[in-house]
Structure 1
Amino acid sequence: MNVETRMPPAARSANIEIVPTDRSLGAEIRNVDLRQLDDAAFAAVLRAFHTHSVLLVRGQHLSDQDLIAFSRRFGDLDWAPVQENGRRFVEGLPEIYIVSNVKVNGEAIGSLGAGEAVWHTDMSYLETPPIASALYALEIPPVGGNTSFCSMYAVYDALPTELKHRIADLKIKHDGTYNSGGFVRQGVTPTDDPRSSPGAVHPLVCTHPDSGRQMLYLGRRRNAYLVGLELAESEALLDELWTYVARPEFAWEHVWQVGDLVIWDNRSTMHRRDPFDDQARRIMHRTQIKGTERPQ
């Protein structure tokens, strides 16, 4: 019996189906069990990731160890950041970050609560931000909590030529004061002056190291600052750029089901989350693939 015959059907690369959304980004990977990917199957997944920026895989049954093992195929993993409650990670599994509104004995088991998470790129305030993030759904509310993704390739491509020339050599400081839920990060003294707030400086227009395509690298709006400009000029230009992010033609909205795994390219996308009823339960486990180079 050859190796191909012994493989479970879900692991065979020939069975994998890649179904793009009808949006500017995103594709669903079907007929696959992420616990049983052979090398050829993973190569197909990786190609789809570079092409579509966001991948959805439904109907998975992943332990935290399975989630870590799959994520590691994309690269080394970051340890989870410190949450608002001062905890860093799941005991014994520092790679797992819990996104949840659930409380046990009055203490939150995870981060970000039930409110809206505004458009952002994960941890762009770092000198070397993560390459990608993977989010796995364990419990979801009956309504709300949807996650939308925006293509920063498409946003950049849509900018008028004059505006592209204007921003070509600008650098942007990515704020490290607040997370995407609006909470002050652990150990940070809050400030609302973007010129003095903590955070890394990156090019506003970047070239993706795998695709070679240009993209807008905005990070998040709050406390962002275009280095070298007067504050009022920076604010006005950022407001203009963010009007493109808000356009629905550049985004895809995902409605979660238990067992969904979504992995997104943190360099070429932004994402946001809808609020949901805080009396409902939402538990998601996340990993992040460690960055290997600064945006450039």
Structure 2
Amino acid sequence: MSAAHGDQRLTPSGMGTLLPPAPGGSVEELAARAKEAALASGCVLARGVDLDEDDFKLLVRSLGETVDHKFGEGQADLLKLDASRDKGKVVTGRGPLPLHTDGLLVGEQVDLIILYAAEFSDAPGSGETYVCDQLTAWKEMPAHLRRVLDEHEVEYLVKERGYFPTVPADWYAIPTTRDYGRVTSLNITTAFPRDVDQRSWEIRVKGMEPAASEEFFEELDAFLRSERYAYTHRWEVGDLLIIDNQRTLHGRTAISEGGTRVLFRGQLTLSDAA
């Protein structure tokens, strides 16, 4: 579902808002308006925003405290997701990323994710970001899917060691829910598509047959990305998308061979969020 008018919600479930323009406002004023809207609705989209790298860093630091950085690239106030052609890059590369929550693999609290399109030119369906209203989806999830998350451990094997240098080298379990004092939510990813060779991580349900585990994550992904819960955003230069990482999951479609996609990304922890 696309955002086009006023305070229209971005998904039928009620997640997300389009922030009305406020010409002439400062970066700090934009940050205050966007933070309020993101925390109220799960994510907020502002269009036609003009930011350079310094402006973006100011915006991020006006929103909250930067995450205690544990990744192998960039900083918490600015990482360039630049669609790298380096075969070893996945998170900052050109392939798809499944639904996930930032901070999961490194055990870090990330409350807000800030994405800004500095450059973008790609075919329809390519290089898009999708955001899932995970709280509503979890509440309405079919019992057989929820039962697996409630009763089984989920394990991860990180393959992109350059981006996640501090995590265990073998399979390790991560709780499927989290609560940092603001909201209880799912603490998961879904799996990379079967036909994707370049993966940042692998995932499995502990003790489940491999084929059954793969089928579970495929069904879970299809449910979470259904039209009721998921908003897919086609970028334009100047778009600013701020995501409440505790209330949503997000991912991206693959970037086409000729596509250009440079997003600035920031990550924040909020000590004052209700």
Q: TM-score, normalised by structure 2?
A: 0.73
The answer for the alignment partner of 1:245 in structure 2 is 224
Match of 1:29 in 2: 19
SS in 1 for 2:65: coil
Which residue identity is paired with 2:255? Answer: F
1:197 corresponding residue in structure 2: 171
Cα distance in 2 for partners of 1:165, 1:99 equals: 35
Q: For residue 259 of structure 1, give the secondary structure of its aligned residue in structure 2.
A: coil
Is residue 217 of structure 1 aligned with residue 187 of structure 2? yes
Residue correspondence of structure 1 range 1-296 to structure 2 within 5 A: 18-24=7-13, 25-32=15-22, 35-38=26-29, 44-78=33-67, 79=69, 81-82=71-72, 88-89=73-74, 95-101=77-83, 112-143=92-123, 144-161=126-143, 164=146, 167-168=149-150, 170-173=152-155, 175=156, 177-178=158-159, 184-186=160-162, 196-198=170-172, 201-202=174-175, 204-207=176-179, 209-210=181-182, 212=183, 214-221=184-191, 223-226=202-205, 229-232=206-209, 235=213, 238=217, 240-290=219-269
Bigger mean CA offset, 49-58 vs 230-239: 230-239
Per-residue deviation, 1:269: 1.5
Equivalent-residue separation in structure 2 for 1:187 and 1:59 (angstroms): 31
Aligned structure 1 segments of 4 or more residues deviating by more than 6 angstroms: 106-110
Counterpart CA distance in 2 for 1:133 and 1:76 is 12
SS at match of 1:31: coil
Matched-pair contact (CA < 8 Å) for 2:157–2:170: no
Letter of the 1:186 partner, please give it: G
- Measure, in 2, the Cα distance between the counterparts of 1:271 and 1:45: 18
- Secondary structure at 1:23 match in 2: coil
Alpha-carbon spacing, 1:101–1:42, altered in 2? closer, same or farther (3 Å): closer
Identity %: 19
Matches of 1:255 and 1:165, distance apart in 2: 34
Q: Distance in 2 between matches of 1:188 and 1:252?
A: 27
Instruction: Name the aligned partner's letter for residue 281 of structure 1.
Output: T
Instruction: Please give the alpha-carbon distance, in whole angstroms, between the structure 2 residues aligned to 1:215 and 1:188.
Output: 23
Q: Report deviation, 1:239.
A: 5.1
AA matched with 1:64: E
State the secondary structure of the residue aligned to 1:249: coil
Cα distance in 1 for residues equivalent to 2:257 and 2:35: 36
Superposition deviation, residue 97 in structure 1: 0.7
| CA deviations over 1:238-259 (Å, ceiling 9, x no partner) | 5553442242321011111101
User: Within 1, Cα distance between the matches of 2:248 and 2:76?
Assistant: 25
> Which protein shows a greater Rg?
1
Higher relative contact order (CA 8 A, sep 6+): 2
Could you state the TM-score of these two structures normalised by the residue count of structure 1?
0.68
Whole-angstrom distance in 2 between the partners of 1:131 and 1:80: 15
Gaps of 5+ in 2: 1-5, 192-200
Contact 1:155–1:216 (CA under 8 A) maintained in structure 2: no
Q: Cα distance, 1:19 vs. partner?
A: 3.6
Q: CA deviation at 1:157?
A: 1.5
**Distance (Å, rounded) in 2 between the aligned partners of 1:238 and 1:280:** 29
Q: 1:153, CA displacement in angstroms?
A: 1.0
CA distance in 1, matches of 2:107, 2:185: 18
Letter in 1 for 2:129: T
Seen in structure 2, the aligned counterparts of structure 1 residues 131 and 253 have a Cα distance that, compared at 3 Å, is same
Cα distance between partner residues in 2 of 1:215 and 1:111: 23
Indicate the SS of the match to 2:57: helix
CA drift at 1:137: 0.5
